[in-house]
Structure 1
């Protein structure tokens, strides 16, 4: 298996997220991948736990992540994103800092920090 460039792996993950293609997204994660709150607790480990989290998120009709910036350092990729979501309070955006560690062409660990949430106001 050819090891993919870490930035290409993370871009494939972002593309699959925006396409709401859970199968393509799961192919970017190692089978025993871990997701964390940045500097905090484990959110999910392994495909059997990660997949349903994305399936639930993909049910949001307006879900979309816009890449604001990306930094690559070796096998670590840090993305700053603005994610459009359907919150219980209404349509809005949330800032996300996503740090991915790519090992052998797949995301092994991902940590997420959530920033400000802004609800879209009607004119």
Structure 2
């Protein structure tokens, strides 16, 4: 019985790995880079690691409220904003609901938990990649 449970568990782990690999099959190099950058910043966000979080972003990153309201520009204000936010929200965690990658654009549908036990906020983030960095971010605010 223990062997059966072990084999089933290994099969599930293998399935997850295959599913993750299948996500990148058929993506162009540009799309693989875009997907990787989006995931890198998401992982750092969930770890509230400001240094790792900043790495995927360009020095002159622009952050917008969709469609075109500039919130801030540059790594310095972004670092200040997120460092403060990470410090205020020890339960902060994003669950990726869906990800679309096309060309140099990544669209993430997310659920953001700020406080454990509270209803997660729904969010959509759009990342525009230029070269090998995230150059623009657009946040879509849910309708009330």
Tell me which interval the TM-score lies in, with the shorter structure as reference length.
Answer: 0.7 to 0.9
Once superposed, which parts of structure 1, at least 4 consecutive aligned residues long, lie more than 2 Å away? 114-117
TM-score (norm: length of structure 1): 0.84
Aligned residue for 1:121? none
Q: Which has the larger radius of gyration?
A: 2
Q: 2:100 aligns with which of 64, 68, 71?
A: 71
Alignment partners' CA distance in 1, 2:101 and 2:34: 8
In the alignment, is residue 6 of structure 1 matched against residue 57 of structure 2? no
Instruction: Choose between structure 1 and 2 for higher RCO, CA contacts under 8 A separated by at least 6 residues.
Output: 1
Larger mean CA deviation between 39-48 and 74-83 belongs to 39-48
Q: CA deviation at 1:104?
A: 1.2
In the alignment, is residue 22 of structure 1 matched against residue 50 of structure 2? yes
Q: Say which structure is richer in helix.
A: 2
How many residues align structurally? 112
Alignment partners' CA distance in 2, 1:49 and 1:66: 25
Any stretches of 5+ residues in structure 2 without a counterpart?
1-29
Aligned residue for 1:53? 81
Q: 1:81 aligns with which of 105, 110, 135?
A: 110
Q: CA deviation at 1:116?
A: 6.8
Any stretches of 5+ residues in structure 1 without a counterpart?
118-123
Q: Secondary structure at the match of 1:5?
A: helix
Q: Say which structure is richer in strand.
A: 1
